[in-house]
C-alpha cells in the first residue's frame, strides 16, 4: 500500500507505520551480482548557476501544460520579485504533452531531472511546481508535516475522499489516524494471511488454470486488480466482491475517479469547482457517477455491519481485538464505539478501499513482469518458495523466511513505485537542503520515481537487481536507506498499511509461483500510464501453464470458505 500521489494511494492514506518487521543495522557486504548501494552517499544539488542548471531556453516547442509563454511568465515573475531561490525553471517540450496530460506524468519529470538536476521549477497548467529528486530534500519535506501539508492533493480529490483521513489535515487528521491505525495490529494481519490472502490467491490460481488449459493469453494486470479488490473487500468489510468470477463496477469506478483527480491537478481552469458544470460536462458526469458507485457500495456495507454490531452489543476487548467471525477493519472501528459520523466513517473506509486495491494490484503486476524477464531471479524466488513452504500454504510466520521473494517485491517497488509522485504544499517560507528557498503556498512535487532511478542515488539504477538489498539485512525502508527508498512515503503521514500491502503481495506471489509457469507474450509493447499508481496502457499479457509435478510444490486448490 503506497503513499500519496496526485491521486492518493493506500500507502499515503494510512498515516502511521505498523512495526511488523524489525529494523536493524544497515551495514551489509557487497552483493555478488550488483555493486553495493551508495550507503550514506546523497546527491549534491547542482548550483543554479551551473551550466547544467541553465540550459538554453530558446526552444519554441512548448505545450499548453508548460508552454514557452507560461515558462517565460514563471521565470519573469521569479525575476521580478528578486527571486533568490536558486531553483532553475525547466521547459517541457511538445513531446512531453501526452505524458503530462493523462499519460505517464513521471516520465518527463525524469527526463527533466537528467537535464536540470535534482531540483527544478516546472510550469504545469495554472500553477508551477518545485520538482524534487533528492533524498535529502524529500526527507526534509516529508518529516516536517507542520511546514508541509497535502495542499493540492486535498483540493483535487475532495470530490472522491471527502474528509477522509487520506486528505484530511490538522486536528481532524490526527483524530482519524488514531482511530484507524490500531485496527492494523499483528493479530489482525496474521488472521488476514490465513482467512483472506491465501483463500483469494487460491481462487485466482484456480481461475488461471482454466485459461492455461485453453492456451489463452491472460491479462495479469486485470486479474491482479480483481484479486486485490476481493482482498480489500474482505479485509475492510468482510464482503466478497467476487470480482475474480464476475464483473465488478467498482474497479472501473475507482480507476475513473483516480484519473479525474489527476486530471484536475493540471486543469488550466478549475471549472469542476462550479457545481452546475459538473452536471453537464461529460468528463465530470462520468466522474460523479463513478464516485456514486463507490460511495453507495461503502455506505451499504457500513449500514449492514452497524446493524450486526448493535444487535450483538459488541465492544472491543484488548489492544489486539479481533472478531473471529468477522475480523474486518469496519467491524473493529464500529466495535470501538468511537463517536464518528457515518459520513466520516464512509470517507475513511473509502480511502482505504480505493488505495488498498489500487496499490497492491500494481505491485503484483510489475513484480511479475520483472520476474518474467529475469530467469535467474525467477528460479531463485521459486526455489525459495518450495524450500520454505514445502508444498503447503504460506503462514504469517513464513513471510520472514521468504527473504528473496520479498526483496524482489522491494526491487519492483524501487523501479515502479506506487505512487510515482508525492505532492506537498509549503505552509511557511522555508529553506530546503542545498540552500533552495521556497515560499509559503509553493506546491512541491517529490518524484519518487526519479529518486528510485537516479544514477546519483543508486548503482545500476535502471536494472532489476533484488540482491542490492542484503537478504540478512533489514527490511529496506525510508529510515535505513536515508530516504533513498520511499515507496510508502515517510514522516508522520507514512503509510500505516505498508505491512498489509507487503504481506498480501508476497502471499499472492508465493501461491502463484507454487502452481503456475508463465511467460510474457512476445512482441507486446509494455507502456506506462498513471492513475494513483503506475499502470500499463494495454495490459500485461502472459501465457500460462500448470507447473509440472504440482503436487510436489503446492497445496491443493481448495477455495471454499
**Separation CA 367–CA 233 (nearest Å):** 23
Q: How far apart, in whole angstroms, are the C-alpha atoms of residue 12 and residue 515?
A: 33
Measured N-to-C along each axis, helices 152-161 and 342-372 cross at an angle, to the nearest 10 degrees, of 110
* Residue 143 buriedness (CB in 10 A; 0-12 / 13-18 / 19+): middle
CB-neighbour burial class of residue 130 (10 A; exposed 0-12, middle 13-18, buried 19+): buried
Say if residues 201 and 231 touch (Cβ distance below 8 Å).
Answer: no
| Unique residue bearing C-alpha cell 457545481 | 275
Half-sphere exposure of residue 15, counting CA atoms within 13 Å on the CB side? 25
**Which residues have CB under 8 Å from 85's CB, separation 6+?**
48, 78, 121, 436, 437, 438
Helical packing angle, 282-312 and 249-264, nearest 10°: 120
List of E strands, 362-433: 421-426, 430-432
SS3 447: strand
Contact 512, 205 (CB under 8 A): yes
| Beta bridge pairs of residue 343 | none
Give 272's DSSP letter.
Answer: G
Residue 2 CA to its chain's centroid (Å): 3
Query: Can you read off the three cell numbers belonging to residue 343?
Result: 459520513
> Does the annotation list 200 as a binding residue?
no
The count of residues in the chain is 561
DSSP-assigned beta bridge partners for residue 468: none
Phi-psi region of 96 (alpha: psi -120 to 50; beta: other; left: phi over 0): alpha
Q: How far apart are CA 452 and CA 458, in angstroms?
A: 7
CA dist., res. 434 & res. 87, Å (int): 10
CA–CA gap between residue 558 and residue 541 (Å, rounded)? 26
Output the 3-class SS for 177-214: HHHHHHHHCHHHHHHHHHHHHHHHHHHHHHHHHHHHHH
User: Which among 395, 334, 471 has a CA at the least distance from the CA of 34?
Assistant: 471
338-345 long-range Cβ contacts below 8 angstroms, 24+ apart: 338/179, 340/179, 342/299, 342/302, 343/162, 343/163, 344/163, 344/164, 344/176, 345/302
Name the H helices within 215-281: 220-237, 249-264
Closest to 158 in 3D by CA, of 1, 7, 16 = 7
User: In this structure, what are the phi and psi dihedrals at residue 456, rounded to the nearest 5 degrees?
Assistant: -80, -15
Look at residue 33 and give its three-state secondary structure: coil
Q: List binding-site positions.
A: 495
Q: List binding-site positions for heme.
A: 495
Amino acid at each position: 500500500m503506497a503513499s500519496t500521489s496526485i491521486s492518493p494511494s493506500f500507502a499515503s492514506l494510512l498515516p502511521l507505520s505498523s512495526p511488523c518487521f524489525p529494523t536493524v543495522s544497515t551495514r551489509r557486504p557487497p552483493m555478488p551480482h550488483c555493486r553495493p548501494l551508495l550507503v550514506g552517499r546523497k546527491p549534491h544539488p547542482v548550483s543554479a548557476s551551473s551550466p547544467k542548471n541553465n540550459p538554453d531556453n530558446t526552444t519554441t516547442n512548448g505545450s499548453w501544460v508548460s508552454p514557452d509563454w507560461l515558462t517565460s511568465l514563471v521565470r519573469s515573475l521569479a525575476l521580478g520579485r528578486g527571486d533568490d531561490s536558486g531553483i532553475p525553471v525547466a521547459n517541457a517540450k511538445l513531446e512531453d504533452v501526452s505524458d503530462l496530460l493523462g499519460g505517464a506524468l513521471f516520465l518527463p519529470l525524469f527526463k527533466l531531472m537528467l537535464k536540470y538536476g535534482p531540483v527544478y521549477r516546472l510550469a504545469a497548467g495554472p500553477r508551477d511546481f518545485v520538482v524534487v529528486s533528492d533524498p535529502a530534500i524529500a526527507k526534509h519535506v516529508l518529516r516536517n508535516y507542520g511546514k508541509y501539508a497535502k495542499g493540492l492533493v486535498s483540493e483535487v480529490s475532495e470530490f472522491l475522499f471527502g474528509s477522509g483521513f487520506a486528505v484530511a489535515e490538522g486536528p481532524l487528521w490526527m483524530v482519524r489516524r488514531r482511530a484507524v491505525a490500531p485496527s492494523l495490529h499483528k493479530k489482525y494481519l496474521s488472521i488476514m494471511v490465513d482467512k483472506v490472502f491465501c483463500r483469494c490467491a487460491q481462487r485466482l490460481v484456480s481461475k488461471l488454470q482454466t485459461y492455461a488449459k485453453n492456451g489463452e493469453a491472460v491479462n495479469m494486470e486485470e486479474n491482479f486488480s480483481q484479486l486485490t479488490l476481493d482482498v480489500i473487500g474482505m479485509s475492510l468489510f468482510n464482503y466478497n466482491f467476487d470480482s475474480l468470477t464476475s464483473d465488478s463496477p467498482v474497479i472501473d469506478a475507482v480507476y475513473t475517479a483516480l484519473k479525474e483527480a489527476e486530471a484536475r491537478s493540471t486543469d488550466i481552469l478549475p471549472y469542476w469547482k462550479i457545481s452546475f458544470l459538473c452536471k453537464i460536462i461529460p468528463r465530470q458526469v462520468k466522474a460523479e457517477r463513478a464516485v456514486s458507485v463507490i460511495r453507495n457500495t461503502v455506505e451499504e456495507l457500513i449500514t449492514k455491519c452497524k446493524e450486526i454490531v448493535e444487535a450483538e452489543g459488541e465492544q472491543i476487548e484488548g489492544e489486539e481485538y479481533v472478531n473471529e467471525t468477522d475480523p474486518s477493519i469496519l467491524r473493529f472501528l464500529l466495535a470501538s464505539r468511537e463517536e464518528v459520523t457515518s459520513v466520516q466513517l464512509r470517507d475513511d473506509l473509502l480511502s482505504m478501499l480505493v488505495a488498498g486495491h489500487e496499490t497492491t494490484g500494481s505491485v503484483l503486476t510489475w513484480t511479475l513482469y520483472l520476474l518474467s524477464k529475469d530467469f535467474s531471479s525467477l528460479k531463485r524466488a521459486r526455489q525459495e518458495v518450495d524450500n520454505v513452504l514445502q508444498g503447503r500454504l504460506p503462514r504469517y510466520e513464513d513471510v520472514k523466511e521468504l527473504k528473496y521473494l520479498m526483496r524482489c517485491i522491494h526491487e519492483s517497488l524501487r523501479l515502479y513505485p506506487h505512487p510515482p509522485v508525492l505532492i506537498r504544499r509549503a505552509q511557511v517560507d522555508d529553506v530546503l537542503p542545498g540552500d533552495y528557498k521556497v515560499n509559503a503556498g509553493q506546491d512541491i512535487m517529490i518524484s519518487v520515481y526519479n529518486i528510485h532511478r537516479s544514477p546519483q542515488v543508486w548503482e545500476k539504477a535502471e536494472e532489476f537487481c533484488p540482491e542490492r538489498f542484503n537478504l540478512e539485512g533489514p527490511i529496506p525502508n525510508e529510515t535505513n536507506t536515508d530516504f533513498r527508498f520511499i515507496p510508502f512515503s515517510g514522516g508522520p503521514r507514512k503509510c500505516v498499511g505498508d505491512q498489509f500491502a507487503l504481506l498480501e503481495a508476497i502471499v499472492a506471489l508465493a501461491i502463484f509461483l507454487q502452481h503456475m509457469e508463465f511467460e510474457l507474450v512476445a512482441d507486446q509493447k509494455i507502456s506506462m500510464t498513471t492513475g494513483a499508481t503506475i499502470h500499463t496502457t494495454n495490459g500485461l499479457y502472459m501465457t500460462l501453464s500448470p507447473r509440472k509435478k504440482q503436487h510436489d510444490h503446492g497445496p491443493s486448490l481448495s477455495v471454499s470458505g
